[in-house]
Structure 1
Amino acid sequence: MNPTKGLVAIYKMQGCGNDFVFIDNREYNVPVSHMSEWAQKICRRAFGVGADGLVFLENSDEPALDYRWHFYNADGSRAEMCGNASRCAAKLAVEIGLAGPVHTFGTDAGPIRAEFCDDGEIKVELTPPQGLELNKPITLKDGDDEIHFVNTGVPHAVYVAEDASALNVKELGALVRYHDVFAPAGTNANFMSIIDRENVHLRTYERGVEDETFACGTGAVAGVVVANALGLTGTDVRVKSSGGEILSISIEGNSVFLKGKALVIYSGNAVLESLGLTLD
């Protein structure tokens, strides 16, 4: 194996427990037609690098964008948006010289504006929430119930529970994710408890990961949008994730902001032969 051709530089990052692998695709030019396969093999835990998603960063031909990304879930499905990955992307883009500390990048959901904050956290302005539906009838495991829905770049159902920590999120999340009322695309499923008007606890079953994750940025935004619309919270809310970390959500008119930590865990080289991948 050619040691140069057979290695691809990767960055492993995490935002509130959501972990991702990033590739600077300016160097490798992996075609879009191959990206799904790369995501499935690189994100596979134990046999690959292991991650919730794989992100390719590359130059954009749109003057208003500093760069664009291609985001894939661990199962190889392409996603329009991911809130925690967007904060990681913004941090990495600055570190590898792709953009400055305040910049805009392109996603399938639309442009995302990002900035470094004085406390070291990353703040992103997501695309405006779409399609808010409150008190949507749904039949779950224990019979008829109500659920809420909003698209915050990707579709999210939100279930308000007295104690989200007591729920079997993997079981209930799968029921919601594949429920007929959200067919054919399916939805992410969030389970939220209201602590007070400034704090909520939220757990998310993510479409494409097909399990509960430690956090979900667009899910946290969806939860706060729903809670605020129901009159349960204000417009500045701290969301405690399954991993115990905090995401800060702010609603300002039609704009919604997500703020939190984004960390590079390590950088290194992936051996493509071991993953069953090539650059050819």
Structure 2
Amino acid sequence: MEIRFHKYQGTGNDFILIDDRELQFPDDLTVIETLCHRRFGIGADGLILIRNHPEYDFEMVYYNSDGSQSMCGNGSRCAVHFAKSLGMATNRTTFMSTDGPHEATIKEDIVSVQLYDVDSVEELTDGVFINTGSPHHIAFLEDVKNFPVVPEGKAIRFSEAYAPKGTNVNFVELEDGNAIFVRTYERGVEGETLSCGTGVTACSLAASLKGYKSPVIVHTLGGTLEVSFAVKEGGFSDIFLKGPATPVYSGLIDV
């Protein structure tokens, strides 16, 4: 079976986008793992199916590269851009994702997606835990650029504290100008990604506990994002993740 795909990246977080309005994509997780494999497939951090939805402009079905599912912030921004190219969305859209409906706006290649309110923040002895649609452990460090993200992130991700499902792990360095630098070990990818949307969002919210104000500028290895939010009792509301969503190439592949 031949499938047309589109490759996207959002600050280096890369995805395979497929128009699945005809529901023809095979229901086989091994296909997803193979397509995302960087040597035997197209190569991506995740795969996204765009489908029709009876109540919203479109539905985004997201898979990590290992076939597991979660909410994905950067993937959502790429999905909005792709859905608009298909004529399924306008400059303001509402779509269904893994954790429910989301609103988004798009202007050229800049997409802003609203995430759900965060009702609780867990301050830990070694950092902060915040769930922004996906679970995130956040540790504040110095010299994050030279930090061994993969071994240290893997140890926390598979630690007993987060068993059995594990967590994403973010290492954050505070910068001048209301900015932070973030590197992330992603659960489901099982390695470092150049950017993680729900991760940089969680890190920005955690930075507000250290006096940072909305909007927070977030630098990642893959580019720059902006996170805005309002502080509420015990948590945060009006959370938006904003940044570029960029088409890379398209092609055909047999599955």
- Aligned pairs for 1:100-111 (under 5 A) are 100-111=90-101
Per-residue deviation at 1:107? 1.1
Matched, 1:129 2:118: yes
| CA positional deviation for 1:130 | 4.3
Matches within 5 A, 1:64-75: 65-75=56-66
Q: Residue in 2 aligned with 1:149?
A: 129
Contact 1:83–1:258 (Cα < 8 Å) also in 2: yes
Answer with 1 or 2: which has the greater Rg.
1
Kindly provide the amino acid, as one letter, of the partner of residue 158 in structure 1: I
Q: 1:190-269 to 2 correspondence within 5 Å? A: 190-196=170-176, 198-228=178-208, 230-243=209-222, 245-253=223-231, 254-269=237-252
* Distance (Å, rounded) in 2 between the aligned partners of 1:94 and 1:159: 36
For 1:35 and 1:266, locate their aligned partners in 2 and report how far apart those are by CA, in whole Å.
Answer: 24
Correspondence 1:38 to 2:28 = no
- Over the aligned positions, Cα root-mean-square deviation in angstroms equals 1.4
**Counterpart amino acid of residue 40 in structure 1:** E
For these two proteins, the number of residue pairs brought into alignment is 250
Following superposition, the deviation at residue 220 of structure 1 comes to: 0.4
Report if aligned partners of 1:239, 1:249 keep a CA contact under 8 Å in 2: yes
Give the partner amino acid of 1:12. K
SS of the equivalent of 1:56 reads strand
Q: Which runs of 5+ in 1 are unaligned?
A: 1-5, 138-145, 273-280
In structure 2, distance between residues paired with 1:131 and 1:157? 13
Q: Using a 3 Å threshold, how does the CA distance of structure 1 residues 185 and 147 change in structure 2: closer, same or farther? A: same
1:18 is aligned to 2:8: no
3-state SS in 2 of match to 1:227: helix
Name which of 75, 95, 99 aligns with 1:85: 75
Q: Corresponding residue for 1:143?
A: none
SS at match of 1:26: coil
Identify which of 43, 47, 54 aligns with 2:47. 54
> What CA distance in whole angstroms lies between the structure 2 residues aligned with 1:204 and 1:175?
13
Q: Aligned to 2:198, what secondary structure does the other structure show?
A: helix
Q: Taking structure 1 as reference, are residues 130 and 208 closer, same or farther at Cα in structure 2, changes over 3 Å only?
A: farther
Deviates further, 14-23 or 92-101: 92-101
The partner residue of 1:180 within 156, 160, 181 is 160
Residue from 146, 158, 165 that aligns with 2:145? 165
Taking the aligned partners of 1:35 and 1:173, their CA distance within structure 2 comes to 29
Moved segments of 4+, more than 6 Å: none
In structure 2, distance between residues paired with 1:237 and 1:131: 19
Structure 2: gaps (5+ residues): 232-236
Q: Distance in 2 between matches of 1:71 and 1:167?
A: 30
Percent pairwise identity: 38
Superposed displacement of residue 29, structure 1: 2.9
Contact 1:130 1:151 in 2 (8 A): no
Aligned counterparts of 1:212 and 1:72: Cα–Cα separation in 2: 17
Say if 1:151 and 1:222, in contact at 8 Å, map to a contact too. Answer: yes
Residue 271 (structure 1) shift: 1.8
Q: 1:28: how far off?
A: 4.2
TM-score by length of 2: 0.94
